[in-house]
Structure 1
């Protein structure tokens, strides 16, 4: 997989050009048709915040937002996302100003080792932006159930999500 400067150039055999919109920037590259989004983000675009965990869509460490929806980037082919808006953990902050969910995770000590934190935060952002997910603790736990924290910081993660809800004016 290589970055392309000329999108009209011929792609190497077995690869195809793809234009990805990641964190508000357009990236034109050539990728094998079977390259997963997680690997393209990490290995080609050098966005290391999205973590490789289980490679089976069971841990949530690789969660990113695609058109505002949380997805497991380890289960998604990069070429499927041409034209989609992809947001990684690196794209949440506005300059030096953290996203309210990032602030809440910091304030509530909602991490220990930190490996799952980017995926947890991305899932929290998606659930807080989804009007169909109720604000009660049980609904938040259910919505976050695809994200595993091996350190067991769940109590603090829940507190952070609910705090961010208030900061973002999403109280119900």
Structure 2
């Protein structure tokens, strides 16, 4: 379920819109990931749904790493025809953890001072979508010193697994097969 929501659906939507995107004057694709992608590698290409062993946070982290791999591979394949970037909101005060475990509620309370409001959390996505300074294949997030959970937008480091081009190619090929959509550039 997490993989379909966080990766496959985005891949399918982008694939269905690709022809229109490429016909646009300055097309961009912004893929929202998470700082948690740092805990996700490597992405198990043969077990994308985490069916062999499931841990909610590990599965979430792997899907967010897969989202970054998708964004970077999309940029590689599209070349100069579009801008593809990934970003993360940092820690944003939303109601996402309202219906969660007590453990997650406690973690949310403890991290509260290091997080930011939802509007500030939207800034990395808005920057990637609209800024003339946004770079192809980049990863944007808050510049905060504590896990990058809050702060102003900057280009941030990706997990080491996000630079694995072979894994990105394998994932992209697997996504095309699962979604039934072939990207044509």
TMscore range, shorter length: under 0.3
* Greater relative contact order (Cα < 8 A, sep 6+): 2
Normalising to structure 1: TM-score of the pair?
0.26
The structure richer in strand per residue is: 1
TM score, norm. by length of structure 2: 0.24
